[in-house]
A and B are shown apart, each in its own frame.
Chain A
Amino acid sequence: MTQTRSGSKLVWDTVSYAVLILLAIVCVGPIVWTFLTSIKVEEDIVTRSMVYFPTRFTFENYVKLWSQSSYPTLVTNSLIVTSMTVLICLFTGTVASYSFSRFNFAGRTQLMLAYLIVRMFPAVLMIIPLFIVMRQVGLLDSTFGLAVAYTSFLLPLFVWMLKGFFDSAPKELESAARIDGSTRIGAMFRIVIPIARNGLVATCVFVAIAAWNEYLFALMLTTSQGSRTWPVGLQLMVGEFQLPWGMLAAGGMISILPVIILFAIVQRVMVAGITAGAVKG
C-alpha cells in the first residue's frame, strides 16, 4: 500500500514537473522573443530570413523610449492610479465582502448580483456619460478621477473574489472570539482578515494588474501628459506610417518590469501569510 502510494506520488511529481515546465516555456517564450526583438537592430527584425539570436545588439530602443515617450511621468501616473485604486478597493471592498460572507440578511443574493451587474454594461457605451459625469465634478483628466472610475469597475471583482476567500476561512475561530466577548468588528479585524490574508493579497494583485493594464478608460478620461498612464503612452508609439517593432518590444519589456518586482515582493508576503496562518490555525 505504502509502496504504491509513493510510486504514484513519483508518477504525479513527474507529470507535475513536465506540465509546469511546458507551460513555463509557452508562457515565457513569447516574452523572451519580445526581449530579443527589443535588442535587435531594425534590419534583423524586418527581414526575410529569421534571425533567432542576433549578432548585433542595440539598446537604442530603450534609450529612445526613455527620452521620447516621457516614460518616467507615464509610469509614475500609472503607479499613482494603481495604488489609489487598490487602496480605495481595500477600504471599501473588504468590509463589503466580509458582510456578504458572514451575514445572512434579507436581499443578500440580490445585492451581490447587483454588484456584479455593475460590471456587465459594456464599457464602450458608458464612456461618454462617464466622461460627462467626470467633467461635472471636475475629475476629468486627473489621476484621482481615473482611480475612482477604475474602483467602481473593479470593486465587484474585488468583493466577489474576496468573498470566496472569506467563505473558506473557518467560522469556528470567529465564533470562539465572539463567545470570548469580542465585538463583531474586533473579530473581523483580529480573526477573519488575518486568516484570509492570502486571498486578500491575491485579490489586491488582481485589482492592481487590472488597473495597471487598463487602456480604454485611461485613453478616454485623460488627455494631458500630467495624468496619462503607461498603456496609453505605449499605444501612442504605434504610429500610422511607422513600424517601431523594436521600440514596441522595448516598451513591452519595460512595462512588465514594475509588475514583476511588485509580484516578487507580494509573493514573499503571501508565503509569510501562509506560514503565519498555519501557526495560528
Chain B
Amino acid sequence: MSRVLYTAANPPARSAWEAINPMRMIGELSETRYWMYLLLLPSALLITAVVLYPTLYGIQLSFREMRLNRPALGTDWVLFKHYARMLADPIFWTALRNTAVWVTSSIALEFTVGLIAALALNRNLPGTKVLAVLILVPYFLPNVVAGHMWALMLDPRLGVINDLLVKTGLLTGYKAWFADPSTAMAAAIIVEAWHSFPFFTLLIMAGLKGIPTDLYKAADIDGAGPFAQLRLITLPMLKTIIAAAVILRVIGLVNSPDLLLILTNGGPGRATQVLSLYAFQTAYKDFNFGYAGALSVVMFILLMGFAWAYIRLSKVNQD
C-alpha cells in the first residue's frame, strides 16, 4: 500500500508519473458510480468461469436419457421422465425423509453446542484459551480421518465406546450401533455434530468480539438477566453471521455424502440413505447420469427454497 493519502478534497500535484500511477487511478475509479460492481467483478468472473458450465450441464442431464453402461439407449431428451420416476420411487421418498432428519438434527445440535461453547469462551476466563484450541480441534480433521476414527471407536468388536459403556454399566454388551436402524442415524448425527460444531463456535466467537460492550453494560443497568441479554442483544447482533453459518452448513450437510459413505453407506437397509448418497450411487454405481441429474436438481431446488425462506424469515438483508 502506498502511504500517501490521496483525497478528493486535496488532489496531489500531477506529474507525468502521477497521471499513470495505478494507485491513483484506482482511487479515482473508486469514486465512480460503478465501484460496487467493479469490486464484485473478479469474484463473479471466477465463479462463472468454473461453476456455470458444470451446473448447466448437470441441469440439462436431468432432462436426458444418459446411462453410460447402456449406450444403446442413446442420449435423447426425455423431458420429465426422470422426475416422474422419482415421484414413484420409494427410495427417493425415504432418502428425502432421512435427509430432513439428518440435516435438521445435525444443525440443531451443532448450533446449540457451538453457541454455548462460544458464549462460555467469550467470558475470557483465565485458562480458557487452551480449552478453546482443544474444542476447535475436531474441525481440523479431514472427514476421512474423523469417519474412520469414529468407526473404530464405535466398532462392535474393537470399540472403546462400547467398552466404556459396558464398564460403567450403561450397556450389557457391545452394541453394533451402525447395524441397528434405530441407532444408526443417531450415531452418525453425533459423529457429524462432533466434527462440525466448532464451525459455529469459531464464527460466533469472532462475531461476539464485534459487539460493543457498552450494550451489555447498559442492559446490566436496566437489570436485564443473562438470558434476556442473549435474546435481546447477542442473537440480534449476530443475526447475519448466524444466518450465513446456518445456510452454509445446511448446504454442506445436504450436498456432501462423505461421512455417511464411510460410516454406513446408507444402511442398514435404507435407514441412513440420504439424497446426496443416493445421487452419488445412481451416478457412479448404476451409471444412470440422467436420473442422478434429476435427483441433483431436486436437491438444488430444495436448497434454494430453504435459503430463500430462511433469509426472508430472519430478515437478514434488511438494515
Interface, chain A (partner B; CB < 8 A): 5, 8, 12-13, 15-17, 19-21, 23-24, 26-28, 30-31, 33-34, 37, 45-48, 50, 52, 88, 91-93, 95-96, 98-100, 102-105, 108-109, 111-113, 115-130, 133, 148-149, 151-153, 155-157, 159-161, 163-165, 167-169, 180-186, 188-190, 198-199, 202, 205-206, 209, 212-213, 215-216, 230-231, 234-235, 238, 245, 248-249, 251-252, 255-256, 259-260, 263-264, 267, 274
Contacts and interface: CB of A to CB of B under 8 A. Distances in A.
Contact of A91 (B42, B245, B303): B42
Contact of A256 (B36, B113, B137, B304): B137
User: By CB atoms of chain B within 10 A, which of A96, A120, A161, A169 has the most?
Assistant: A120
Contacts of A151: 46, 50
Nearest to A13: B125
Given A152-B51, A206-B199, A113 B42 contact: no
B185 to A, nearest CB: 20
A19 B120 contact: yes
Contact of B237 (A111, A152, A168, A213): A168
A168 B211 contact: yes
A123 B256 contact: yes
A142 B288 CA distance: 29
Most buried by B among A124, A167, A183, A231: A124
The secondary-structure label for the interface of chain A is: helix
A89 to B, nearest CB: 9
B26 A185 contact: yes
B144 A215 contact: yes
A181 B8 contact: yes
B123 A13 contact: yes
Given A19-B120, A121-B300, A186-B27, A215 B258 contact: yes
B279 A152 contact: no
Given A16-B125, A27-B198, A263-B136, 6 more contacts: A30-B138, A100-B40, A161-B244, A184-B31, A185-B29, A189-B1
B7 A202 contact: no
B17 interface: no
Nearest to B302: A120
A20 B117 contact: yes
Contacts, number: 312
Given A122-B279, A123-B256, A125-B61, A152 B207 contact: no
Contacts of A133: 50, 53-54
B30 A184 contact: yes
Most chain A C-beta atoms within 10 Å of own C-beta, residue among B44, B160, B206: B206
A24 B133 CA distance: 9
A124 B60 CA distance: 15
B131 interface: yes
Nearest to B122: A16
A161 B46 contact: no
B43 interface: yes
Contact of A167 (B54, B59, B240, B293): B240
The 5 residue pairs across chains A and B that have the minimum distance between CB atoms: A181-B7, A181-B9, A164-B241, A152-B50, A129-B54
A15 B54 CA distance: 50
B46 to A, nearest CB: 6
Contacts of B280: 124
A245 B7 contact: no
Nearest to B152: A245
A219 to B, nearest CB: 10
A88 B46 contact: yes
Interface stretch (B78-86, B89-97, B247-255): B247-255
B137 A260 contact: yes
B299 interface: yes
A116 B39 CA distance: 17
20 contacts: A20-B120, A20-B135, A50-B160, A52-B160, A102-B36, A113-B307, A122-B255, A124-B283, A125-B61, A152-B47, A152-B50, A161-B241, A161-B245, A168-B211, A181-B10, A184-B31, A209-B140, A252-B141, A255-B142, A274-B209
